[in-house]
Structure 1
Amino acid sequence: MIQVGQKLPTANLSQLTADGMQTHDVNELFAGKKVVLFAVPGAFTPTCSEAHLPGYVVLADKLQAKGVDLIACVAVNDAFVMKAWGEAQNASELLMLGDGDASFTKALGLEKDTAGFGGLRSQRYVMIIEDGVVTTLNVEEAGEFEASKAETILAAL
């Protein structure tokens, strides 16, 4: 698993925009920025839709006021699903990124098997990344939702 102080692995994430499908190299996307990146096990799933993503939508301005340049949500879903989920959640201030093949999630060592509902997915986590280096990493224990909340990371900034 990636650790605080380590640089993000080389990986691509996808985003569907008004201009079409965009492929982002994470190191280029996050270069020179302070980023809050949070991951959910799946778009449109209960905790993710009712609490996790909405917390970041509501607190986006407060996170930005603390010097965060970019707030990004990633899930092992395709970019089409992430765009639809972001629109359904009014997440216009957030970058909704798809990790469709889980390559980024696996490179981080933060994957989990949810065979009962979806197969290989991401663990629930949040990290602060400064110029491509992880400075904070909060990974949830199975079934928990506290360490990766927007309120928790806001308090840590």
Structure 2
Amino acid sequence: MEITNIKTPLGITTIMGDENGISVISVSDEGEISEQIPAVLQEAVSQLMAYFEGKRTTFDFKLNPKGTEFQQKVWNGLLEIPFGKTISYLELSKKLGDVKAIRAVASANGKNPLWIVVPCHRVIGTDGSLTGYAGGLWRKKWLLEHENPTTQQSLF
């Protein structure tokens, strides 16, 4: 398993993976920036940096997250949320076929090991509120604004 740390606008991002795909992308406030990026992680780093520069809305590098069958199902559901859009936990539960599984869906969402790429930040409360986010609500707000910037209408 190869590991690299890169600096992003939201903190130090750690990327872990191997020839089978990327298994972890996480963010923290601390950490040392890697001097070299292992070859197997270079595409993920390149695509993440393009995302932060506003030049990429999707990711196409190989993913290999570790989780239960149910977690994998939820994470695959998250991958279907379009860039710039949000969905509620209730809507996601319905899409996955069990409206009563809302707490389990929220739990699996919170255990998402692939920050940004599997867009758990796009899941909000039914009332539109920014509910819990492992990376901190300020990061969730930043990501949603980055993906759907409010354009100021010109008066002239």
Same fold by TM-score greater than 0.5: no
- Which structure is larger by alpha-carbon Rg, 1 or 2? 2
The TM-score normalised by the length of structure 2 is 0.26
Q: Tell me which protein shows more helix as a share of its residues.
A: 2
The TM-score normalised by the length of structure 1 is 0.26
